[in-house]
Amino acid sequence: MNVTSQLIYLTVIFTLLVIPRALQRFRIPAPLTCFALGISISIVGVEYANDPTLALLATLGISSLFLFAGLEVNIHDLRKGIWLLLGHLFVRCIILAACVWIGTSYFEFSWQVAALLALAALTPSTGFILESLPNMGLNEDEKFWVTNKAIAGELLALLLLFLVLKSDSYESLAVSSAMLFMLAFGLPFLLMLLGRTVIPHAPGSEFSLLVMVGLIAAYVTKELGVYYLVGAFLAGFAARQLREKMPTLASDENLHAVKLFASFFVPFYFFYSGMKVPEGALLWQSLWLGLIITAVVLPLRVLSIILQRLVVHKDAWKSSLSISLALAPTLIFTLVLATILHERYDISDTLFGGLLVYAALTTMLPALVLNKSVSLDVDR
């Protein structure tokens, strides 16, 4: 690597770690700033969209964020509100099914495309929401329900994402399901093996081992054709379930370390994704389509959660509204699925751009309405 390349990378790192944080005072979410910077680079014609170093940093970002999301899954908390969460997921499934039917019946999408579009529009980005939760001004009960509804929704979405992406043939679905099943059950054994053979002789190595296992799992699921986030989430989930047997692996200190790691690398994911936005997605048609999608879908999502809280939970109106707004951001899930739809199913640049506009608007909503700006900072 020559001196010029080193200076370019140092400039990118400085820009992504400083400028988005500085703009947060204007309630502009840091990921959107990173994404916009990536788009700006692509517009001026700088050829870094296929840079392997930035691609690696972006992979570290998305994998570590979903590793953190998996670590946050608390089975005990999910069981405490199991029936209410199942009701929430039942409503989510009905809305998803209705969106798929509309997409296939009125817009002539294939059912796979319609399903992925529905998931992209309706699934909260759990990792992003959990990172942003301390800045939303919610009380402890509201944080509890936002956390668990986001996690439950993501678990459902990851399962449906896997089924849709592997639905081309029964053989592919069966083979991939078997491999995913083996991965899910093999990760705890791998972690316990490392815990018995490495950690006793290398105190303090829990963080590096956890990140390594997360990256391996992410790579495996990427090779299965279901993207990095599934494997990284499974690795975090497996580590969290071993908390009693291996307390240092998923300790609060290690959890905080993963959050710090994710907060450093996630900006590169948004920046790199911004550089890969096609020119055809940056037209006025995409903006208008994104505004239409937002005007239709976002009120539906917000009102469905408010009604659930008012009718089932007997919540106050203000609390119901706060929870529904906190669950609004879809940035990461929408961006990932929009990319899959564009690359694998060849959706139009206009629709791709419209999804990005929708993701940006849903992400900005909590920052504009709730107490503090939404960011990727980890300080509580």
CA distances from 64 to 163, 211, 213, 289, 360 (A): 23, 7, 11, 32, 22
Q: Which two tokens stand for residue 186?
A: 């093999």
| pTM (predicted TM-score) | 0.87
Q: Which amino acid is at 375?
A: S
Q: At what angle do helices 30-43 and 3-23 cross, to 10 degrees?
A: 140
Three-state SS for 25? helix
Degrees, nearest 5: CA angle 138-144-150: 100
Can you tell me the distance from the alpha carbon of 6 to that of 4, in angstroms, rounded to the nearest whole number?
A: 5
Q: Specify the residue for token string 């500085």.
A: 22
Digit-coded pLDDT (tens) for 279-302: 889 899 999 999 999 999 999 999
Question: What pLDDT was estimated at residue 376?
Answer: 45
Q: Which of the four pLDDT bands, split at 50, 70 and 90, describes residue 5?
A: confident
Q: Which amino acid is at 21?
A: R
Question: What pLDDT was estimated at residue 143?
Answer: 87
Can you tell me the distance from the alpha carbon of 222 to that of 248, in angstroms, rounded to the nearest whole number?
A: 28
In the DSSP assignment, the letter for residue 278 is -
Summarize the confidence of residues 123-136 as an average pLDDT.
81
Digit-coded pLDDT (tens) for 220-278: 988 887 778 888 999 999 988 888 888 887 788 888 888 889 889 999 999 999 988 88
Domains in the chain with CATH codes: 3-369 (1.20.1530.20)
Q: Are 39 and 280 in contact (CB under 8 A)?
A: no
